[in-house]
Amino acid sequence: MSPFTPLTLPNGTSLPNRFAKAAMEENLADADHAPSDELIRLYGTWAEGGVGLMITGNVMVDRRAMTGPGGVVLESGRHRARFERWAQSARRHGAQVWMQINHPGRQMPAALGQETVAPSAVALDLGRFSRQFTAPKAMTEVGILDVKRRFVDTAMLAQASGFDDVQIHAAHGYLISQFLSPITNRRTDRWGGTIENRARLLLEVVREVRERVDPAFSVSVKLNSADFQRGGFSADDARAVVAMLNPLQIDLLELSGGSYEAPAMHGQARDGRTLAREAYFLEFARDIASVATMPIMVTGGIRRLPVAEQVLDSGIDMVGIGTALALNPDLPRAWQAGAPSAPVLRPITWKNKVLASIAYMAMVKHQLRRLSRGRGPNPAVTPLCAFLEQQIDTTVRTRRYRRWMDRQSA
């Protein structure tokens, strides 16, 4: 199948092609944690590049719960004009723009100074880097219901701001993913134990969002095909969750994998069954797609047109691209014009997997910052330079976030 073929979603809306800009954490919010001019410019750049769909970096449903400093927060209509500008910039060449909404749970940096919560009081195990994250408190029933309400409220605000969809983030070890995994969910109440109970939060969020938004507003989910940890969320669990999602009228299911502890989404914990070095969740996706009734999108390592075509020819409906679009935002147009572009970052040879994962993210964010300022990408940036640059940026934005939070409580 040609990746330039439109895709009609279950709700009747249409994507102009099969290329999606997958979510990347930009950390480019303004001082009020609304979309900045730089973030709006970045999405305008991707719009010009010809993708059919743009999925935003995660937008937080609670200002007290951030994946990192500089994240966008959507809790009210206070900054609606800026969110509307963001959506308009992304949509101006015919693509759809979907807002990924998220809560980090235990994967929130300790430096932000906020209380950390999770399904159970299970701390991150990152070796000597574990101290970068506060051990979480187990959530109460009231806390779980509050988070569910926040996801629904943020979805409604996204629709009001001109976005075409919300993607509910249930992957990569964030809060909903923590509920799904028996490693991080040791509860004995209705939110834990069986996969039906562990999936309850995700299913109730999806069901209530679908009930509250317009029929033409798409609802999607990002789910791990597996979390690549022994005893964790497995491919069997993923198939069971997909079967439970089938009747809930979601419009696209994106499959990825991994968490902070096992960063497979960066290609650093690939299972032996996956496809070589690109599309490394494809074989898992083929398996899970066998029980899915909704369109499926695969994200993870895709940077060449022949690989994108292979993904589609295998029965997958949509190709998610992240790093390659940070390195070449015009990639779909280049491919359509016949250019054999295959953008790639410099290899990271560091032996420490946690540091290598941090450096990888820093190299991607280096590209995003450049594009957001109207500059070209810099694929030659070294892991060390990007890492140091990111540490400085994180320090500055952390201080700004803490001052902002102090003003909120004053």
Cα angle 15, 18, 23; round to 5: 90
Distance of CA 27 to the CA centre of its chain: 13
Instruction: Please enumerate, as own/partner, the contacts of 324-328 that have beta carbons within 8 Å and a separation of 24 or more.
Output: 325/21, 325/22, 325/46, 325/49, 325/51, 326/24, 326/364, 326/367, 326/368, 326/371, 326/377, 327/367, 327/377, 327/379, 328/49, 328/377
Q: 56 and 18 in contact (C-beta within 8 Å)?
A: no
Cα 348 to Cα 356: distance, rounded to the nearest angstrom: 7
Extended strands (E) in 135-191: 137-138, 165-170
The whole-number pLDDT of residue 23 equals 96
* Mean pLDDT per 10-residue interval, the chain, length 410 residues: 94 97 96 97 97 97 97 97 98 97 97 97 90 95 98 98 98 96 96 98 98 97 79 87 96 85 49 43 79 92 91 93 96 95 93 89 97 96 97 97 90
The whole-number pLDDT of residue 260 equals 76
Distance of CA 168 to the CA centre of its chain: 9
pTM comes to 0.94
Architecture of domain 7-343: Alpha-Beta Barrel (3.20)
Q: Counting runs of H as helices and runs of E as strands, what totals does the chain give? A: 13, 14
In 3D, which of 166, 156, 178 has the Cα closest to residue 222? 166
Task: List, in sequence order, every residue forming a beta bridge with 20; answer none if it has no partner.
Answer: 53, 320
Distance of CA 181 to the CA centre of its chain: 18
The whole-number pLDDT of residue 281 equals 66
Contacts for 166 with CB less than 8 Å, ≥ 6 apart: 98, 99, 100, 101, 154, 155, 158, 159, 209, 213, 219, 220
Q: 250 and 221 in contact (C-beta within 8 Å)?
A: yes
